Amino acid sequence: MLKDVVFGQYYPAKSPVHRMDPRSKIVLLILYIVMIFIVKNFWGFLLTGGLLLATVFLSKVPLKSMLRSVKAIIFIILFTFIINIFFHKEDGAKILWDVWLIRNVTDKSLYYAIFMALRLLLLVLGSSILTLTTTPVSLTDGIESLLKPLSYIKFPVHELALIMSIALRFIPTLMEETERIIAAQKARGADFESGNLFKRAKALLPVLIPLITSAFRRAEELGDAMDARCYNGSKNRTKYKKLKFSLVDLFGTVLSLTVLAGVILCNLYLGATI
C-alpha cells in the first residue's frame, strides 16, 4: 500500500503539461479545486472529470500511475461513502433500504454519498498531476514567484517554498524507506497482518523508531550537502531557468475558465443534486 503513494513523485515526459509554467499549474490546480467544491450536480462533475481526463491525456502520464494514487486512499473514499449513506438526513427523501442493521438508506443519502466520493476522487487525482508533471525545483520556483509579494513585509518566501518542495519530495522517499524497514522486520519474524487493530498498531512501533531515525539522518545529510555547496537563501540569488508564460499556459487557462463557466451554468440551470 505504501508504494502506491504517488503524491510527491515526478514522472518525466515530454508533454504540453510538463512544459507549462509551474505558476500556471499551481493557479490552475487551485481553480480546479474551487470548481470541485462549487459543483452541485453530476453534470458539473462530468465537466471537471472531462477536464481531468484531457489533462492526463496531454500529460502522457500512464493512467496506471494515476490510479495508484486512488488505491492509496481507497479506504478513506469507502469510509466517506458509508458514513454519508447512514448519517445524511434530508426531508422528503425516499427510503430505499430499511432492513435489520442497514436502516434509513434513502435516495438523497445515496446521491450525497456518491457525490462526496466523486469529489474526493477527483480532488486526489487532480492534485497528483501537479507533482507528477512538475519537478521539485520548478515547483519551488513557482511557489516562490507566486508568494513574492509577501517578501515586501519581510516574509521568508524563498525558505518557505524550499521547505514545501523538500517535504513533497521526501514523501515517496520515506514511503520507500518504510517498505524496506517493514520487509526487514518481517524477515526477522515480525507479524504486521494478524491480530486486532491495536495489536497491528503496536507491531508498527519497531518500524516508527528506525523510520524517524532515518528521516533525521536524511535531513542532516541534505543540510550538509547544501552547506557544502555554499547554499543560502538570500534575495540576491539568481536562477538558472527563468519562468515565462507560453501559449500552452494560455490554452490551459482558457480551457479551465471555460469549464468553470460550464460548471456555474450547470449549477444555475440544471439544479442541485445535493
Instruction: List, for residues 75-134, the tens digit of each pLDDT value.
Output: 888 888 888 777 766 666 666 666 565 666 676 777 888 888 888 889 988 888 888 888
Per the structure, how many domains does the chain have?
Answer: 1
* pLDDT attached to residue 182: 81
- On whether residue 109 sits in a domain, the answer given is yes
- On whether residue 209 sits in a domain, the answer given is no
Q: Which domain holds residue 52?
A: 2-171+244-269
- On whether residue 195 sits in a domain, the answer given is no
Q: φ, ψ for residue 106 (rounded to 5)? A: -110, 170
**Nearest residue to 167 (alpha-carbon basis) of 197, 136, 207:** 136
- On whether residue 181 sits in a domain, the answer given is no
Three-state SS for 166-235 is HHHHHHHHHHHHHHHHHHHHHHCCCCCCCCCHHHHHHHCHHHHHHHHHHHHHHHHHHHHHHHHCCCCCCC
DSSP bridge pairs for 97? 105
Mapping DSSP to helix (H, G, I), strand (E, B) and coil, where does residue 160 land? helix
**In the numeric block, which cell numbers belong to residue 113?**
454519498
Would the pLDDT of 3 be above 60? no
Would the pLDDT of 52 be above 80? yes
**In the numeric block, which cell numbers belong to residue 215?**
528521516
Q: What is the pTM of this model?
A: 0.78
Half-sphere exposure for 111 (CA within 13 Å, toward CB) = 14
- On whether residue 177 sits in a domain, the answer given is no
Work out the end-to-end distance of the chain between its first and last CA atoms, rounded to an integer number of angstroms. 33
For the chain, percent of residues with pLDDT exceeding 70: 83
- On whether residue 121 sits in a domain, the answer given is yes
Rg (CA), the chain: 23
Question: CB of 104 within 8 A of CB of 95?
Answer: yes
Mapping DSSP to helix (H, G, I), strand (E, B) and coil, where does residue 262 land? helix
- On whether residue 31 sits in a domain, the answer given is yes
- On whether residue 13 sits in a domain, the answer given is yes
